[in-house]
Amino acid sequence: MGPTYLTDTAAYSKYIQGLLRLESMTLMSLAVETQSVMSVITRMELLSWRTGSKLLDEDIKQFISQSVVHDLTEPIILQTIRIRRQHRVKLPDAIIAATAMVNNFTLLSTNDRDFETIPSLNYQSLN
């Protein structure tokens, strides 16, 4: 069995809109269809997204309901603090990175600027 992927909000939104390169769309499809895993931050961000489409809103809600959502735990909080002390990363991104690190997930994202600065994070760019 291959790695478990945790996908951040930017990757999900680009995937949903079909805005990723073909190989990134294929990898995202694999990650989503195998076992969709996200941070509670991604859940909140996706549900806050103003899509302007009731159909897309319902698709997002269904997608989240079929996903494994990782809440904040003490190990994730402590890892988030370490990330924030060592790197200039916004709190939501630090929580997403910490969730991936604590659970030994590979993080999929299009946010290279923030996530590539964390050397101990198993990160795969979808750009």
Q: What is the pLDDT of residues 30-72, one digit of tens each?
A: 998 888 999 999 999 999 998 888 988 998 999 899 999 999 9
In this structure, which amino acid lies at residue 34?
A: T
Q: Tell me which CATH code domain 5-125 carries.
A: 3.40.50.1010
The band of 116, judged by pLDDT with boundaries at 50, 70 and 90, is very high
- Render 102-121 in DSSP notation, one character per residue: HTTPEEEES-HHHHTT-TTS
The pLDDT value given to residue 34: 87
**Better-predicted residue by pLDDT, 93 or 50:** 93
Asked if pLDDT for residue 3 goes beyond 90, the answer is: no
Beta-carbon contacts of 38 under 8 Å, excluding residues fewer than 6 positions away, are 6, 7, 8, 12, 46, 64, 67, 68, 69, 70
